[in-house]
Structure 1
Amino acid sequence: MTPTTTRTAPPPQGLEALEARVRQDLAWLDLPAKNWLPTTEMNGEEVLPVAVIGAGMGGMAASAALRFLGVNAPIFDRSPAGFEGPWATTARMETLRSPKTLTGPALGKPSLTFRAWFESQFGIEEWDALDKIPRLQWMDYLRWYRKVLDLEVNNEHRVLAVHPRGADGVVQLDMQTPNGPRTVLARHVVLATGRDGLGGAWVPPMSDKLPRNVWAHSSDEMDYGTLKGKRVGVVGAGASAMDSAATALESGAASVDLLIRRADIPRVNKGKGAGSPGLTYGHERLADEWKWKIRHYINVQQVPPPRGSTLRVSRHENARFNLGTQMLDLEYVNDGTRDEIRVTTNKGVFKFDFLIFSTGFRIDWSQRSEFAAIAPFARSWKDRFEHPVGEDDQELADSPDLGPSFELQEKTPGTCPGLSRVHVFSYPAALSHGTVSGDIPAVSVGAQRIAQGIASTLYAEDIDWHFGNLQTFEEPEVFGDEWTPAEPPVQEEVPS
């Protein structure tokens, strides 16, 4: 018998080898394209072609896609370097819920994928054994993505105001930086500001009855170690609720009660079932009625919490899932021995020391003072679309009504010239464009769409300049010495 041989996986190549591969891949594709835009200044100050606000996954993907097209698009982010986005700050899940095979912000380049990054360090066998991507490992990958693409990120830059200046065709950004105030001018601005990009966390109005130090929203940065020994309530049953509850329990909370309004926790992720290249590329071309119907259905069905996150909570004996429990009132009292929160529900009164609202986000321009100059003029879906009876949906009604390049549009034409130079590349774009601007599965599609749209707009804006370059272009490809003119043929006399 011929002896069998066992094939072993090749050893990991290391990040240096992968980074060399990235450089080679981009060189083979002749990327990034050379700059093709005119240099623009205003009163001696540089005007950027594009400024991107937000250096999370979406902002970096958009900046990289623009750069590949030869458009400079530096990023400005309020966070310290390496802590952009939620992954290392407010996110509390153990792993991502997305399948590990999704290509994320790779922009169609295999060497830029998480898988390439992972296998280059840990090998194929470790990749095969990996179930879901650990949250902090995903953050490490995004840090590497920024490094290997040499993206220009200006950290600790907090945007204070966004002012479209219609008269001179620029958007003015007023920012606070470690070195003091800074003003940046750009022809176009991309708002890659995340899940709460045009608003913020939402909590029930009755939360006003509680002192601010005894409650938090699940998106708040906080030290969960302060909950040790405390009775904690968590309002909600989504992913963030499970992650908050589990983190509190793991930090030593005496007990955690989840107050869940629904009679049952959602079981099926309808959004996952709808995912396909057809929807990814086709949503923006659907009739408004279909856009609304699809997004409304997914909202109503709700996304279930990940199985792993739910098991992370239920393995604790001091965790309680209170289904069908609707919060009716809040009260903060001192019963003579301790201060406590009393939550009146349809199933009785719960007593807590701390309350966490996992109640999602709202599109609410009033929460974002930096957008005060544009908020009154931006058109939302409720301003022009009458949704079908029975399909009321506040999130969709408040969603910005965006153009083909994710640009804001005026509610009343002429009231805010230059508004269309501001582009929304964050979750609120989902109704207009589908989920291509904030979630891992299709962020590359969205980044390439917005980059191509802005690049084409910039070209059209400068068409006189480009046509002038076309006319004056005089680099010869043929020099006249490539041939010898033929002698004219000898004319023979024709006999008369």
Structure 2
Amino acid sequence: MTALDALAERVRRELELTAYPRPQWLTSRQHDGEPVVDVLIVGGGQAGLTVAFALKRRAITNTVILESAPAGAEGPWTTYAAMHTLRTPKGLTGPDQGLPALTPESWYRAAHGDDAWEAIQFIPKEHWQDYLVWFRAATEPRMRNDVAVTGIRDAGDGVLEVSHTGGRTFARRVVLATGMAGNGEWSVPPVIRAALPPQRYVHTGAPVDFRRFAGQRVGVLGGGASAFDYGASALEHGAASVDLFYRRAQVPRVNPFRWMEFYAFGAHFPDLPDEDKWKFTVQFARTNQPPPQQTWYRCTRWDTFAWHTAADWSAVRMDGDEIVVRAGADEFRFDAVISGTGPNVDLAARPELRDLAGRVAVWADRFTAPAGWEDNSLLGYPYLGPGFEFTERDRGSAPWLSRVHDFTYGARLSMGLNGNMNSGLGAGGRRLADALSRALFLEDRHRLFASYQDYDVAELVDLGRPADRVGMS
């Protein structure tokens, strides 16, 4: 028996040991002559797998994950992520939902050995993808790959109709687990998009063949870790030079995520008053996070790498075959540009959310920032309920929106650490699974009460005396 075989047996045993209570409490339903799943999860990466397993632990098993990517290629890890390792320290947990045999450490030690685990600080991204593939096999969610969701609408009778490239599926609840761009799209600033033909720039949220940069002068806008990773990858594939531009006056040195990684913050951020949620999120935007140290060295080891602070791009133009960028008081000339500017939040930009977009409440509808804490970039974030559910812009106009739960980057203002961050999978997955369980239980309360009234399984089956009784003296 291999170490991974032994670990799989441990998983099965731990699931048995922690399976109480066991009864399946939900019943199958139909709508329009078709079966209804209790929860449909859009996205089969780390967030979707975490939610499916957390639901399974609550005996909610009539679920399905729809994932647009082929099996084994879910998420960014083997597609567009250009880092060498995760940025979260190796001791992270979350998908496991507290089951020791399912933790990344347990898998890594079984797959690569104790010495290999002790030797690393961060898990290599390809190994993380391997872990997620193994996690899927170990937890056995019902999942369909190569299926893209195209729409979500109210079907009546407490059911949603989810349209997708494989047909349609009816569901009582829908979870969006579509990652960083799950509430919008990767954002290329207008200063780039309006000035350059599409073949002259790329975004860090798109797969790239970095050999395209061989021999080229590359300009990178953005100071996040992905911007550094893409710049380093360009240099490693023969770029003549890379210049990276910060809008900030100084390079961030402190990572606020490390402060956030304690249980209460992840579990109870959603319970904060709105003003506190807003201030935490604005403060994060003001400080941001640095690239990991090894990512910084990955770039600065090259003499042909330079970084520039307080250097936002005010103008971009073509001059013949050269790209001319004005940053501050200076002009720079490049052959190609990388936009490391992250995602925006715009529900209408997502095909599956276009029917919902104008009906969903956003923070601009519910909140006015106190003086000194204004940040217009946050106003379009969805204003979520305590279980990650969408809320109505006009109260009473579309109550079915509460059946759609947002476990993506767009949830961060309402919910804090959540499904698009490794450090948010544990607490976020538990809160979401509990919210779904609560909602389904409350909806089924009348059926459950009738079932309770009809329950007649006797435990006391013999009203006689035991055959081996001892007489009283």
> What's the TM-score bracket when you normalise by the shorter of the two chains?
over 0.9
Structure 1 residues 368-407: Cα deviation after superposition (integer angstroms, max 9, x where no partner):
1221111111111110111111212234322211112111
Please say which of residues 117-126 and 458-467 is displaced more in the overlay: 117-126
Structure 1 position 157, deviation (Å)? 0.7
Q: Which amino acid aligns with 1:445?
A: A
Superposition map of 1:7-406 within 5 A: 14-30=3-19, 33-71=22-60, 72-165=62-155, 167-177=156-166, 182-207=167-192, 208-334=194-320, 339-406=321-388
Q: Is the 8 A contact 1:427 1:438 kept in 2?
A: yes
Q: Which amino acid aligns with 2:227?
A: A
Give the TM-score taking structure 1 as reference length.
0.91
Q: Which amino acid aligns with 2:450?
A: G
Q: Is the 8 A contact 2:50 2:94 kept in 1?
A: no
Structure 1 position 34, deviation (Å)? 4.2
User: In 2, Cα distance between the equivalents of 1:50 and 1:278?
Assistant: 27
User: In 2, Cα distance between the equivalents of 1:131 and 1:454?
Assistant: 35
Q: Is the 8 A contact 2:82 2:229 kept in 1?
A: yes
Structure 1 residues 312-368: Cα deviation after superposition (integer angstroms, max 9, x where no partner):
00111111112222211111231xxxx121112223221111100101111111211
Aligned residue-pair number: 464
User: In 2, Cα distance between the equivalents of 1:164 and 1:60?
Assistant: 25
Structure 1 position 32, deviation (Å)? 9.0
Q: Does 1:471 align with 2:457?
A: no
Q: Is the 8 A contact 2:42 2:174 kept in 1?
A: yes
Structure 1 position 29, deviation (Å)? 1.1
Q: Give the 3-state SS of the residue equivalent to 1:332 in structure 2.
A: strand
Identify unmatched segments of 5+ residues in structure 1: 1-11, 485-496
Structure 1 residues 111-163: Cα deviation after superposition (integer angstroms, max 9, x where no partner):
00110001113332222122211111111101100011112211111111111
Structure 1 residues 246-299: Cα deviation after superposition (integer angstroms, max 9, x where no partner):
000001111111122223210111232233222122212212111111111111
| RMSD (Å), alpha carbons | 1.6
Q: Is the 8 A contact 2:271 2:386 kept in 1?
A: no
Q: Is the 8 A contact 1:164 1:421 kept in 2?
A: no
Structure 1 position 483, deviation (Å)? 3.9
User: In 2, Cα distance between the equivalents of 1:325 and 1:434?
Assistant: 30
Q: Is the 8 A contact 1:400 1:428 kept in 2?
A: yes
User: In 2, Cα distance between the equivalents of 1:31 and 1:315?
Assistant: 54
1:32–1:131 distance in 2 versus 1, CA, 3 Å: farther
Percent identity between the two aligned chains: 36
Q: Give the 3-state SS of the residue equivalent to 1:23 in structure 2.
A: helix
Structure 1 residues 66-105: Cα deviation after superposition (integer angstroms, max 9, x where no partner):
1111112210011011111111111110111111111131
Structure 1 position 234, deviation (Å)? 0.5
Q: Is the 8 A contact 1:31 1:68 kept in 2?
A: no
User: In 1, Cα distance between the equivalents of 2:28 and 2:260?
Assistant: 44
Q: Is the 8 A contact 2:260 2:266 kept in 1?
A: no
User: In 2, Cα distance between the equivalents of 1:287 and 1:322?
Assistant: 38
Give the TM-score taking structure 2 as reference length.
0.95
Structure 1 position 31, deviation (Å)? 6.7
1:480–1:85 distance in 2 versus 1, CA, 3 Å: same
User: In 2, Cα distance between the equivalents of 1:137 and 1:31?
Assistant: 33
